[in-house]
Amino acid sequence: MTPLVRAEPVRILTVTVVLAALAAVLLGALQPVHLPADRPLSPLVGVGVAAVLAAIAQLAGLRFRLGPDAVSVSWAEAAVVAGFVIAPAGWLPAATMVGIGAAWLLLAWLTGLRNIVEIVHLVASMTLGVSAAALVTTLLAGNAGVRSGHMALALVAGAVTYLLITFGLVVLTLTLQRGARPGPVAAKVLYAKLPMSVGNVLVGLLAVFALVREPLWLLAFGPALWVLHRTYRFHLRAAEERRLWEAFAAATATLPGTTEADVARAGLLGALHVFGARRAELEVRSPAGRRRYAQDGPGEDVSVVKAGPAVTRSMAIAGRPLGELTVWLGEPTLPVSRDEAAITAYGEALAGALHDAAAHQRIAELDAQAAHQRVHDPLTGLLNRPALAQEGDALLRSSDRARPVALLLLDLVGFREVNSTLGNGGGDEVLRLVAERLGGQARAGELVARTGDDEFALLMPSVTALADSAAPAKPNPMPQVLRRARELVEQLRLPMTVAGVRLAVEVTVGAVVDRAGHVEMTELLRRASLATGKAKEQGLTVATYDSGQDASSTDRLALLAELQDAFAVDDQIMLHLQPAVDLVTGVPTGVEALVRWRHPRRGQLSPGEFLPAVERSELLIPFTRRVLDLALASAADWTASGIDVPVSVNVSARSLTDPTFPTQVTEALRRHRTPASRLVLEITESVAVSEQEIVDEVLARLRAGGVQVSLDDFGTGFSSLSSVTRMPVDEIKIDRSFVDEMIDSAAAGAVVRGAVELGARLGVRVVAEGIETIEQRAALIALGCPSAQGYHFCKPMPADKIVQALAQLAESSPATVTQLRADGAS
């Protein structure tokens, strides 16, 4: 209910009480003016004395705070009792109105109380109470003498009637003014008025007794009444102090809040309750500016309230001003020092609560900022990669499992050049513009994210599948996805101006499509990344995910880890051995060790499938050690069988640039107790010409230790002749490409003839690789080539079969050599 609405019933009550009081005064004045003979004063003197007593009772009364209002507790009941004895009952209302009115006019002048309507209401209420008390007393007393017990009871009844009338009017008035429940208001008023009212009745009866029996006893009433007055004042003040600090504790307990507005609202309501204030205002100061909050007491008119007394206290924390608290008190005689101290303490508590709320708010802002940063890219404001995975998974789970979804992964081409040319600031601006364009192209429900330095992603949770002419019954969503990818590329290609430079951005896009219920976001991102890599490798703008490519990629990724597992067992890394024979006699002249990997999942792998990765990794040394151990162990087996031929092992380019490699070889020979001359290390021409100084030093140390060196794939490089002249070797192996073509190609035949003649002049062995037919063997014999290896003689075989094969070759004559089927290996 608004203050204006509440004021209307109060005005009606005031008018009603005033009219009733005036009517009572007029009716009383019409009564006969006479007193019984036993009364101590004449009627006129009695009326005057009654008026004076009524005034004194008010001037000596007490006022205490009840919420925002002040309730008067006076000696009115004593004045009523004494007045009925000394003045005619009919004139007692008029005497009361005059006396009380004069007293309150004096109080208004002394205290500055300017609310005349309130004074009129108060005077009329007391006059009406006196009128009712006089009527009850007259009816009950009848013609009883003033000294009789019957008269005493009538006087008590009249005083109680006065108390009930005034008590009821006070409760009714406060209830209407504040919109409060009458029960709590009545309890507070009764607590304050009842003890003094009982005392008033007793004082009045004793005053009547003294006046009638011995007027001199009235002189003792002054000190006694002063003591009673002081005692009751102390009682009310103690009660008010207790109420004040209990309310203070309750109010400050409600102050803590998480927002400034909550604390301000609780603080203002608490101030109204604690101090019985009519209005409270709060001004909060912060770096963000000033904010004002205000709260009026129930039924208060702001224009009237602000005319009253106010206490303003500054609030600060650790010397830093936080604002001001202003409280408009309910009494014109206030504030007193107690109120000012309490308001100061309350302001300090409120300042602490506001400071805590500001800290809570700042923490909440930081939490919100951190939460935003956890899921957003700080540069572009787009989702980051983890957030895309999380929100994308939620989106996929909420979609129809059979619905096709697509992910486009966009990679900026040549972004490093942008950074190096325009600086990091220019590069950041390009990324922001790309993000802005990409976000502008996103449709409802799609997710856009920055997933890498120059990489962005667009998740399409719903893709329209078009009928495929090749398979009409199976709609294909990929054409729509590719169309969308090209649209994005065209938009991102549009020129932009950054740091005064007009440039265009090229984009590579990887696209992947799957059904929502069959894939997770991390898998979509992985597949899209493969598609993007494919686009870069093939120079495409847009490429799609290929499951075949995926398999090879995952195999390559797992290869090194699986190779380490292979080193831990004895049955995965193995050698296949192929003999080299004398072309004329067929007697073995050497054995080449060809490494194989019996993969537990992929089957047998050829060297080309894993050696490049090994040579680029730190596994090269343990891998070389394993191959040397296997080769030398096999050589030891056939040596023990009386076959005296060396074993050839292919050497990596990195091994020959490792100064510790000769030591590794020496240690391997020592472990297997094999002479160094039984080991041939095959190198390629590319190795021979790389890092010549280190390679020459390593090879020189190997040859000085007795290890033989073979130049493999002779004739395929650009420096074959310079290799054999610069670097001494023990063997030359003619590449099989020349052997394959030497019958039909004169040029190839010339290369083979030249290699054979070069070997003869240098005094080194010459071995032709890849002999598969008897015609090739005959041609090589005609050219003077001494040795060869290939499927024509023997295919590569496991180590446990090589000894028997070598023995058979040693025992065979040229006429009995059997041709074997060639299957593409040498």
Question: pLDDT tens-digit profile of 572-631?
Answer: 999 999 999 999 888 999 999 999 999 888 888 888 888 888 888 888 888 999 999 999
For a pLDDT cut of 70, what percent of the chain falls above it?
A: 80
At 35 the pLDDT is 64
Tell me the C-alpha to C-alpha distance, in Å, between residue 100 and each of 23, 54, 629: 17, 6, 126
**Radius of gyration, alpha carbons of the chain:** 57
pLDDT of residue 602: 81
pLDDT over 80 at 16, yes or no: yes
Residue 451: per-residue pLDDT: 93
Residue 8, Cβ density class (10 Å: 0-12 exposed, 13-18 middle, ≥19 buried) = exposed
Is the pLDDT assigned to residue 330 strictly greater than 70? no
Which is more confidently placed, 340 or 304? 340
What confidence tens digit (pLDDT) does each residue in 687-714 have? 545 567 788 888 889 999 999 999 887 7
Nearest residue to 751 (alpha-carbon basis) of 769, 735, 764, 731: 735
Burial class (CB in 10 A: 0-12, 13-18, 19+), 236: buried
Q: Which residue has the higher pLDDT, 294 or 158?
A: 294
Q: Position 754: which residue type?
A: G
Q: What is the mean pLDDT of residues 123-129?
A: 83
More confident call, 766 vs 347: 766
- Residues in CB range of 135: below 8 A, 6 or more apart: 89
Identify the weakest region by mean pLDDT among 157-161, 190-194, 479-483: 190-194
C-alpha–C-alpha distance, residues 168 and 171, integer Å: 5
Reply yes or no on whether the pLDDT at 214 is more than 80. Answer: no
8 A C-beta contact, residue 756 and residue 784: yes
pLDDT over threshold 70, residue 269: yes
Phi-psi region of 569 (alpha: psi -120 to 50; beta: other; left: phi over 0): beta
pLDDT band at residue 4 under the 50/70/90 scheme = very low
Q: Nearest to residue 447, comparing CAs of 406, 484, 480, 485?
A: 406
Q: Where are the alpha helices (DSSP H) in 545-660?
A: 547-567, 607-615, 620-640, 653-656
Pairwise CA distance, residues 530 & 543, whole Å: 9
316 vs 66, higher pLDDT: 316
What lies within 8 Å, CB to CB, of 497 at 6+ separation is 503
Q: Which residue has the tokens 């792998």?
A: 605
Query: What is the distance between the alpha carbons of residues 781 and 620, in angstroms, rounded to a whole number?
Result: 39
Q: With 50 as the cut, is the pLDDT of residue 5 above it?
A: no
Look up residue 245 and give its two tokens. Answer: 């600090």
Tell me the C-alpha distance between 759 and 736, whole Å.
Answer: 17
pLDDT at 72: 61
Burial group, residue 157, by CB count within 10 angstroms (0-12, 13-18, 19+): middle
Residues with Cβ within 8 Å of 527's Cβ and at least 6 positions away in sequence, in order, are 407, 512, 514, 545, 550
Confidence tier at 816 by pLDDT (50, 70, 90): very low
Question: Are the C-beta atoms of 405 and 461 separated by less than 8 Å?
Answer: yes
- CA angle at 412 for the pair 409 and 416, rounded to the nearest 5°: 140
Distance CA 461, CA 445 (A): 7
Over residues 85-116, the pLDDT tens digits come to 777 777 788 888 888 888 878 877 776 655 67
Is the pLDDT higher at 210 or at 588? Answer: 588
Instruction: Name the token pair of 792.
Output: 């024509």
Q: Are strands 708-714 and 731-734 parallel, antiparallel or unpaired?
A: parallel
Q: Please tell me whether the overall predicted TM-score, pTM, comes out greater than 0.85 for this model.
A: no
Choosing from 331, 455, 685, 769, the catalytic residue is: 769
Which pLDDT tens digit goes with each residue over 454-487?
999 999 998 877 655 554 546 788 889 999 999 9
In terms of phi and psi (left: phi > 0; alpha: psi -120 to 50; beta: otherwise), the region of 301 is beta
Lowest mean pLDDT among 42-46, 192-196, 620-624, 731-735: 192-196
Q: What is the tens place of the pLDDT at every residue in 742-760?
A: 888 888 888 889 889 988 8
pLDDT at 507: 94
Q: Which pLDDT belongs to residue 99? A: 82
**Confidence category of residue 368, pLDDT binned at 50, 70, 90:** confident
The burial class, CB within 10 Å (0-12 / 13-18 / 19+), for 124 is: buried
The per-residue pLDDT for 331 is 58
Indicate if 283 belongs to the active site: no
Mean model confidence pLDDT for the chain: 81
CA dihedral 712, 714, 719, 721 (to 10 degrees): 110
509: β partners:
410, 542
Residue 149 pLDDT > 80, yes or no? no
Tokens 């094969």 sit on residue:
805
pLDDT at 3: 45
Q: Which 8-state DSSP code applies to residue 601?
A: T
Tally Cβ neighbours within 10 Å of residue 30: 8
SS (HEC) of 51-109 = HHHHHHHHHCCEEEEECCEEEEECCHHHHHHHHHHHCCHHHHHHHHHHHHHHHHHHHHH
pLDDT at res. 1: 43
- What pLDDT sits at residue 780? 92
Enumerate helices (H) and strands (E) in the chain, giving the number of each: 27, 23
